A and B are shown apart, each in its own frame.
Chain A
Amino acid sequence: MSLITAPEIRAHVARAARTVSPTWPLTSFIAVNPLAGHEHRPIGELTAALGESPTRPETAYLAEYRDGRIPDAAVREALHDVLPEVAAIDALAAAGRTASGVDIALCALQNPPSGSDNETAADDLGADVDQYLSALLGRLYADPVWAPPASGTLYARFREVVRHDHSLPRASRRVLADLPAAPEEAIAAVLRSTHPTAEGIETVVTAQLRALPGWVSHLAWRASRTGDATLTDYVAMRLSLLRALNRDEPPPADTLVPPLGVDPEWVARVSELCFGGPEGRAHVLHVLAFLDAPTRRMVWQTATECAYRAELFRSLDDATGEPAAPAEAQLMFCIDVRSEGFRRHLERDPGIRTLGFAGFFGIPLQHTPLLGQAPREQYPALLSAGLPSGEEPVDPSALDAAWRRAAADGAADRARKRVAGTPVSAFTWAEASGWGGLLSGMVRPLTRRFRHRTEVETVIDVCRRLPLDQRAGIAESVLRMTGLTEFAPLVVLAGHASSTVNNLYRAALDCGACGGNAGAANARAAAAIFNDPEVRQRLGERGLVIPETTWFVAAEHDTTTDALRLLDRHLIPQAHRDAVARLETIAAEAGDRLTRERATVLPGAVARTSLATVRKRAEDWAEMYPELGLAGNAALIIAPRAITRGADLERRVFLHDYDPASDPDSTGLANIMTAPLIVAQWINAQYYFSTIQPQRYGAGDKTLHNPVGDLGVLAGHTGDLRTGLPWQSVAAGTELLHTPLRLSVLIQAPLDRIGRIVSATDALRDLLDGDWITLHARGGADDPWLRYTRYGFTPARPTDARLTRDERTSA
Chain B
Amino acid sequence: MTQLTDMTRIEVIAPNDLIPAVREIIGSAGATGYTSIAGISGVGHSGAHNGPHLFNDHDTLSMIITVLPPHRADALIDAIRTLLTGHSGVMFITDTRVSRPEYFQ
Contacts and interface: CB of A to CB of B under 8 A. Distances in A.
Interface stretch (A95-103, A367-375, A381-389): A381-389
Given A6-B28, A10-B21, A674-B59, A761 B50 contact: yes
A14 B18 contact: yes
A10 B79 contact: yes
Nearest to A473: B54
A11 B79 contact: yes
B82 A11 contact: yes
Interface in B51-93: 51, 53-59, 75-76, 78-80, 82-83, 85, 87-88
Interface in B22-64: 24-26, 28-29, 47-51, 53-59
B21 A381 contact: no
A208 to B, nearest CB: 16
B24 A10 contact: yes
B48 A380 contact: no
A760 interface: yes
B85 to A, nearest CB: 8
B75 A7 contact: yes
A240 B10 CA distance: 33
A676 B21 CA distance: 27
Given A8-B75, A358-B55, A674-B53, A759 B82 contact: no
Nearest to A759: B48
Most buried by A among B18, B53, B56: B56
A762 B79 contact: no
A207 interface: no
Interface string A653-680: 0000000000000010011001110100
Contacts of B47: 759, 765
Contacts of A528: none
Nearest to A184: B28
B37 to A, nearest CB: 14
Interface residues of B, number: 32
B53 A671 contact: yes
Given A11-B25, A11-B79, A762-B88, A383 B55 contact: yes
B21 A5 contact: no
Given A8-B78, A18-B18, A381 B58 contact: yes
A223 B17 CA distance: 11
A8 B79 contact: yes
Interface in B2-26: 15, 17-18, 20-21, 24-26
B36 to A, nearest CB: 11
Nearest to A14: B21
Contacts of A762: 15, 49-50, 59, 88
Given A10-B25, A184-B28, A232-B24, A383 B83 contact: no
Contacts of A6: 28-29, 75
B33 to A, nearest CB: 15
Contacts of B53: 670-671, 674-675
A676 B83 CA distance: 30
Contacts of A634: none
Nearest to B53: A674
A18 B80 contact: no
Interface in A754-773: 759-763, 765
A710 to B, nearest CB: 22
| Chain A residues touching B, majority SS | helix
B70 to A, nearest CB: 15
A5 B15 CA distance: 24
A198 B83 CA distance: 12
A227 B19 CA distance: 12
Contacts of A17: 21
A671 B80 CA distance: 32
Contact of B79 (A5, A40, A364): A5
A22 to B, nearest CB: 9
A126 B62 CA distance: 41
Interface in A668-696: 670-671, 674-676, 678
A616 interface: no
Contacts of A7: 25-26, 28-29, 75-76, 78-80
A706 B80 CA distance: 40
A382 B29 contact: no
Nearest to A474: B54
Interface in A1-32: 5-12, 14-15, 17-18
Contacts of B51: 760
Interface string B88-103: 1000000000000000
Contacts of A670: 53
A224 interface: yes
Contacts of B88: 762
B21 A383 contact: no
Contacts of A383: 55-58
5 contacts: A7-B75, A7-B79, A223-B24, A382-B58, A675-B55
Given A6-B28, A11-B21, A15-B83, 18 more contacts: A6-B75, A7-B79, A8-B82, A11-B80, A17-B21, A227-B20, A230-B24, A232-B24, A362-B55, A382-B55, A382-B56, A382-B58, A383-B56, A671-B55, A759-B48, A760-B50, A763-B59, A765-B47
